[in-house]
Amino acid sequence: MSQRQASHRAVRHRSVRRHGRVGVLGLALGVTIAVGGLAVGVLPQLKAEPAAADVGARSPAAITTATFDPLEIPRPAVKPRVAVASVTEVPALPEGSGSGRRIVFDQGDQRVWLVGDDGSVERTYAVSGSRFDNLHPGTFAVLSRSRHATSYDYSGTLEYFVRFTTGYSAPIGFHAVPRYNNGELEQTKAQLGTPLSAGCVRQWMPDAIALWDFAPVGTKVVVTP
């Protein structure tokens, strides 16, 4: 081979090597661009910030509170209360208790009735009469009245005393439950209806006042067995 041919081949070989390197570099650059393009195409989607419209839509000022219709829970029907009249049966007057306006005292039942002019009962209540046999049945009349009085043995005081007869040694009448000299009552309200006195008819205070107002001197008093 001549020196010229050898020189030409060397030049050609260097040219091929240069073009080869350029091709390799081009290929590498193409791959890098492709990969970079992939990265550019993918990574922005992963790191992308929300759009301004989305931020505004999610801000507290833009969030609307959902409204719900109130839940109505049915309540059970309440039955109206029916007022029931309280009927108190009035004990009947004892037989043979007379007629007209009068006070009736029945010793067997230990009860008093205040009877009006038309025969209707204005008031009835339990009392405590004599524990001794010193008041006989019959018809009497109010003899005298004392707003305050003293018991026959001076052991206590009496109020609203309405006398209608006389016993063995002292008047007999209607009055409030006596008080001992120390101020204590001689019996309780619960004990009314039981004979406990020495001759008179003991009443609870409201009843004693009612009889006092009902019975002026001369009022008829009927005592039954």
Model confidence band, residue 93 (pLDDT cutoffs 50, 70, 90): very high
* Residues 35-80 pLDDT 10s: 333 333 333 443 444 444 444 445 544 445 545 455 566 666 655 5
Q: Are residues 109 and 216 in the same domain?
A: yes
87 pLDDT band (50/70/90 cuts)?
low
The 220-224 sheet, strands edge to edge: 121-126, 111-115, 102-106, 220-224, 138-141
Residue 41 lies in a domain: yes
Mean residue pLDDT of the chain comes to 76
Domain presence at residue 96: no
Assess if residue 26 is contained within a domain: yes
Q: Are residues 9 and 107 in the same domain?
A: no
Give the model's pLDDT for residue 168. Answer: 84
pLDDT for 185 equals 97
Tell me if 149 is assigned to some domain.
Answer: yes
Beta bridge partners of 115: 102, 121
Residue 153 forms part of a structural domain? yes
211: CATH: 2.40.440.10
Residue 21's domain comprises 3-46
Work out the pLDDT band at 152, boundaries 50, 70, 90: confident
Establish if 193 belongs to a structural domain.
yes
* Residue 219 is assigned to a structural domain of this protein: yes
* Residue 70 covered by a domain: no
